[in-house]
Amino acid sequence: MANLFVIVGLGNPGQKYAETRHNAGFWFLDRLVSRLATPLRPQSKLLAEVAKGELHGQECILVKPVTFMNHSGQSVRAVLDYFKLPVQRMLVAYDELDLPPGAARLKLGGGHGGHNGLRDIFRHMQDQDFLRLRIGIGHPGLKDQVTPYVLSRPRQEEQVRIDRAIDAAEDVLDIVLNDDLVKAQTRLHTATREFEL
């Protein structure tokens, strides 16, 4: 199974949260699922909805945890264990407060930056050397406003820019899957600068 690549989108399950900023990782994953012939299907043992298919010549497992954001690590751990994959074969997409709407950044490793989904993934795995796609949603300005901000819908102008950033991230996925992170970073970061608020 070592040739598989796992792509995880972080968010909160349920219609109540579907259009909220905290679900930007789900939005990216849904975009990828739409390119496959098979839809997401519930996999209770993996605590996720999962789709398997080929993207850009690479066999991929697309994962949408159903654990709620703060317990995402349970699902990620279960998926990697089940498919016997190292964290180096995984990309995690999530919302990023420290980037403006329209920005998207790829990085390898690093800290969790206070993101609760990443924090829980760290809690369940010793090795944090996995790829991350940070999708900018902006910051409300004050720390005590963060929770209501991420759990509310973006303004229309913000949504348009976030969607463009997701488009740009999808456009470089083939480069990521072909193991050229630097080239993918350069192309993505350059492309999304014009979308940033």
CATH class held by domain 5-193: alpha beta
- Which pTM value belongs to this model? 0.95
Q: Is residue 192 a contact partner of residue 96, using CB atoms and an 8 Å limit?
A: no
Catalytic residue at 22? yes
Residue recorded with tokens 């080929």: 54
Any alpha helices (H) in 14-145, and if so which ranges?
A: 24-33, 72-83, 116-124
| 32-59 residue pLDDT tens | 999 888 899 999 999 999 999 999 999 9
- CA angle centred on 61, ends 195 and 131, rounded to 5°: 50
Any alpha helices (H) in the chain, and if so which ranges?
A: 24-33, 72-83, 116-124, 146-150, 156-171, 173-177, 181-193
Kindly list the distances between the CA atom of residue 159 and the CA atoms of 31, 92, 186, in Å, as whole numbers in the listed order. Answer: 15, 20, 23
Q: Is residue 9 a contact partner of residue 27, using CB atoms and an 8 Å limit?
A: yes
pLDDT band at 112 (very low <50, low <70, confident <90, very high): confident
Quote the pLDDT of residue 197.
Answer: 56
pLDDT band at 192 (very low <50, low <70, confident <90, very high): confident
Exactly one of 22, 71, 112, 124 is catalytic; name it. 22
Q: Which of 85, 75, 57, 81 is nearest to 1 (CA)?
A: 85
Q: Are strands 104-108 and 90-96 parallel, antiparallel or unpaired?
A: unpaired
Q: What are phi and psi of 192, to 5 degrees?
A: -85, -15
CA distance 94 to 28: 9
**Average pLDDT of the residues in 94-112:** 92
- The domain limits of the chain are 5-193
